[in-house]
Structure 1
């Protein structure tokens, strides 16, 4: 594991094949599909999700989702009047953001002992899990994710965000696998932040003069069962899914509890649901 940790610190990401079993993938996917089928469209505000600077999410449905399970549509799944143009089953971009707390299948998976052990190997003293998502890239309409840093959305001082990204299906260049700019976490600070706007919604704040640097990206295909660790400062992206195969993943993000968490971050803890203390809840399995 020491060589892998060294590789993570060098590159800013690390893919660990065969980290979890096919049975886990099947269970997590099954529950995700059940959740999509079960949620009621009637009162849904038809919120779409995008990480773009010009088309990001800022409504109350999104901002108050940190202690709930909510559903966000693909941009291409709705027409200009908010009507579905595809089947509901393949319309969702992601489910978030408290699966790790509220859904038993995801809570059990997210609190396994070996995940706590990885957090300690990475130097985290007080690992806090603060958001979780199933991210869908459905066939033909799975959206592009432009280059970004996770610390843009989950800012601490000093930066401490890290993503645990679990491939539930094979991820390929054709269906929208991940691309990384190796070592970019060492070249750049947090380039920009998405914060709560005082007048409602969210906005981006540039923290450097050139918030969108040109970098060379490497393609990182992953088989189902792979865990990818993602440094909060590393630049990464993924492409459209124009293929006929889905690319569905589960992910959660963690921060260091000793690092002050910015109070204007879009995601905020609530008295009813403070950020999960992985040290306290991790199982012995």
Structure 2
């Protein structure tokens, strides 16, 4: 297959830590994923749902069994502001879901076709040269519901999908128009080169989830002081792909508009022995659903110095 990415695009990714590829998905693919996402939300039974909310704060991150055992399932997580103190929904079900995860790419034929059976994805992975033999480990539809779609603070993905050395790479597809008003992504360009992975998100021995510090608070303070530049908000059209380096800092604001901001995202990491994925990580493969290889054969065009 011919090259998919141009060298200037690869250079831009390496410099900034992210890359926008306009119109990566066709209109048919984009509309199909959006329609399927809404269908899944419409069909899931609320009466058997544990009302698990998706929260991102360090002190209150989701960590119940419904979340921890979702790696080989399709499950639904609610917006914090969609559930009242009595545990009942304050919004209609279709306007209450924060995200769907985490095995859409494995279990749903439409999402699998775009993710694991997509020759354009494979060509892009080979061209980018970030991995030798990557595996896909999670996928999500993120809804950003009108008025209550929660803010996602500054973070990098390798904190939550930790390998040694870090190797996470995100594929983020806009399924709807993403604007400053409905929670478009913002990035700190180049931060993947200077911002260390300071902590990792783990399963706690006593149950639930939490963060394990990887460097001292003093080291983290010095690293933060060395960060330069300003966040850039990246508006996207439906079908656009955003490639996200696992170490680049990014965030999204609360959705203050009357429009949803549906996006489909999946992540890949390097497979052993080049990168170690251990039992501390919150997301674990299962015997019936190991992490799927992305490429048919190892990639010889490796430019990621951490994995060389």
TM tier, smaller: over 0.9
Q: Kindly name which structure, 1 or 2, has the bigger radius of gyration based on alpha carbons.
A: 2
1:85-116: CA deviation from partner (whole Å, max 9, x where unpaired): 00101100000000000000000011201111
| In the alignment, structure 1 residue 271 sits paired with structure 2 residue 278 | no
For residues 160 and 14 of structure 2, what CA distance do their matches in structure 1 show?
Answer: 21
**Candidates 70, 94, 102, aligned match of 2:99:** 94
Structure 1 residue 279 displacement after superposition? 1.7
Structure 2 SS opposite 1:67: coil
Matched, 1:116 2:122: yes
User: Counterparts of 2:33 and 2:109 in 1: how far apart (Å)?
Assistant: 10
Q: CA deviation at 1:49?
A: 0.5
The alignment status of 1:54 with 2:54, answered yes or no, reads no
TM-score, scaled relative to structure 2: 0.89
CA deviations 1:23-77 (Å, max 9, x no partner) are: 1111001111111111111121100112221221110000000000000000010
Deviation, 1:191, is 1.6
Tell me which of 122, 139, 145 is aligned to 2:146. 139
Structure 2: give runs of 5+ residues left out of the alignment. 1-5, 298-308
The Cα RMSD (Å) is: 1.4
In 2, the alpha carbon distance for the partners of 1:230 and 1:70 equals 24
CA distance, structure 1, for counterparts of residue 87 and residue 50 of structure 2: 9
In structure 2, how many angstroms separate the alpha carbons of the residues matched to 1:70 and 1:83? 18
Measured in 1, the distance between the counterparts of 2:249 and 2:198 equals 10
- Contact residue 195 and residue 224 of structure 2 kept, 8 A: no
Provide the residue aligned with 2:224 in structure 1.
Answer: 213
Q: CA deviation at 1:262?
A: 2.4
Correspondence for 2:209: 202
How do 1:32-71 and structure 2 match up within 5 A?
A: 32-71=37-76
Using the TM superposition, name which of 120-129 and 177-186 deviates more. Answer: 120-129
Provide runs of 4+ in structure 1 moved above 3 Å: 211-215
Aligned with 2:295: secondary structure? helix
1:236 aligns with 2:226: no
1:251 to 265, 268, 275: 265
Alignment partner of 1:24: what SS?
helix
Aligned-pair distance for 1:266?
0.3
Q: Which residue of 1 aligns with 2:199?
A: 192
Contact 2:147-2:256 within 8 A present in 1 as well: yes
Instruction: For 2:214 and 2:132, locate their aligned partners in 1 and report how far apart those are by CA, in whole Å.
Output: 28
- Give runs of aligned pairs for residues 222-233 of structure 1, distance below 5 A: 222-233=236-247
Uncovered stretches (5+) of structure 1, i.e. residues with no partner: none
Distance (whole Å) between structure 2 residues aligned to residue 114 and residue 160 of structure 1: 21
Q: Does 1:151 align with 2:158?
A: yes
Q: 2:110 aligns with which of 105, 112, 122?
A: 105
CA distance in 2, matches of 1:106, 1:227: 15
Give the distance between the partners of 1:166 and 1:29, measured in 2 at CA.
11
Structure-2 separation of matches of 1:43 and 1:20 = 34
Question: Superposed, which structure 2 residues align to 1:74-85 within 5 Å?
Answer: 74-85=79-90
